[in-house]
């Protein structure tokens, strides 16, 4: 059940859950605010917490309003698509054969069956991006497990509307947004490290920040770089 509180002109959705800590999120594209709080926590306590975070909430909302967004994909020849931060021009090739995607020089060659719909083209490309991410992530996990001192039991790659990644400490698993295959590799590495550090500290408290500073001193730079890049036309963010 969702309860709403107001902080002046800002509406905050509050969800009580079986969790230990309170979590605050601001979602694109409009800057919607959501707090997930433990079941035992009363609304007055939650309101006081939200008030102490009001400056941060307004700052995040301003960033979202300013962030560049992609135009809707139309899957036309010479449309721009990105792989690991590099721009490619789409080249459509109709052929009565299995679909495939190939990068060549500055072109992304998308082979499709004749009369394929835009939805089908999108499905083929998203599956291809997902595979690129699945190929890239294991090496990063292997690199950082001994450095951070954690073990990732499983990782998942999927289309995510509201986050770049997520972590479930109880199962020692992490999830990554397929959109990361479009961003520079160092941005992917930052998100992988971010989620792995959550295996040590589930919240974004001072301990989490201290751990990130220890393991990846330039993490704020990578975060800023990621947040400067255009995001997908629909509503989602980290």
- Return per-residue pLDDT of the chain as tens, 238 residues: 789 999 999 999 999 988 888 989 887 667 889 999 999 999 999 999 999 999 999 988 887 776 655 667 788 999 999 999 999 999 999 999 999 999 999 999 999 999 999 999 999 999 999 999 999 999 999 999 999 999 999 999 998 876 899 999 999 999 999 999 999 999 999 999 999 999 999 988 899 999 999 999 999 999 888 877 655 544 443 3
DSSP E strand stretches across 40-177 = 80-83, 86-94, 100-104, 107-112, 154-158, 165-168, 173-177
Answer for the pair 45, 21: CB distance below 8 angstroms, yes or no: no
- If asked whether residues 154 and 185 sit together in one domain, one would say yes
Whether 100 and 202 share a structural domain = yes
Instruction: For residues 62 and 84, state if they share a domain.
Output: no
How many domains are there within the chain? 2
In a domain, 72, yes or no: no
**Residue 216 in domain:** yes
3-state secondary structure 76-109: CCCCEEEECCEEEEEEEEECCCCCEEEEECCEEE
One domain, residues 205 and 169: yes
Residue 124: which CATH number? Answer: 3.30.2010.10
Asked, for residue 195, whether it belongs to a domain, the answer is yes
191 occurs within a structural domain: yes
Quick check: is 73 in a domain? Answer: no
pTM: 0.72
Q: Measured between alpha carbons, how far is 101 from 120 in angstroms, rounded to an integer?
A: 13
Could you say which of 66, 92, 116 is where a domain stops? Answer: 66
- Other beta carbons within 10 Å of 232: 17
- Residues 204 and 89 occupy one common structural domain: yes
Residues 145, 36: one domain?
Answer: no
The answer to whether the CB of 69 falls within 8 A of the CB of 231 is yes
**Domain interval for residue 113:** 80-228
Q: In this structure, is residue 74 part of a structural domain?
A: no
């Amino acid at each position: 059940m969702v309860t709403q509180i107001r902080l002046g002109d800002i509406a905050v959705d509050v969800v009580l859950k079986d969790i230990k800590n309170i979590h605050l999120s601001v979602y694109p594209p409009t800057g919607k605010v959501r707090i997930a709080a433990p079941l035992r926590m009363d609304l007055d306590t939650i309101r006081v917490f939200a008030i102490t975070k009001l400056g941060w909430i307004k700052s995040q909302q301003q960033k979202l309003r300013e962030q560049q967004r992609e135009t809707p994909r139309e899957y036309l020849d010479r449309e721009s698509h990105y792989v690991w931060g590099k721009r490619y021009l789409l080249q459509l090739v109709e052929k009565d054969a299995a679909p495939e995607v190939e990068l060549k020089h500055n072109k992304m060659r998308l082979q499709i069956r004749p009369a394929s719909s835009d939805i089908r083209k999108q499905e083929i490309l998203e599956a291809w991006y997902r595979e690129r991410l699945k190929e890239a992530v294991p090496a990063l996990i292997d690199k950082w497990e001994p450095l951070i001192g954690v073990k990732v039991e499983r990782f998942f790659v999927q289309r995510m509307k509201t986050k770049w990644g997520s972590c479930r400490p109880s199962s020692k698993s992490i999830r990554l947004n397929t959109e990361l295959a479009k961003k520079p590799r160092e941005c992917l590495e930052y998100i992988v490290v971010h989620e792995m550090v959550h295996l040590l500290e589930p919240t974004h408290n001072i301990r989490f920040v201290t751990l990130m500073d220890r393991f990846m001193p330039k993490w704020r730079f990578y975060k800023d770089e990621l947040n400067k890049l255009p995001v997908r036309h629909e509503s989602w963010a980290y």
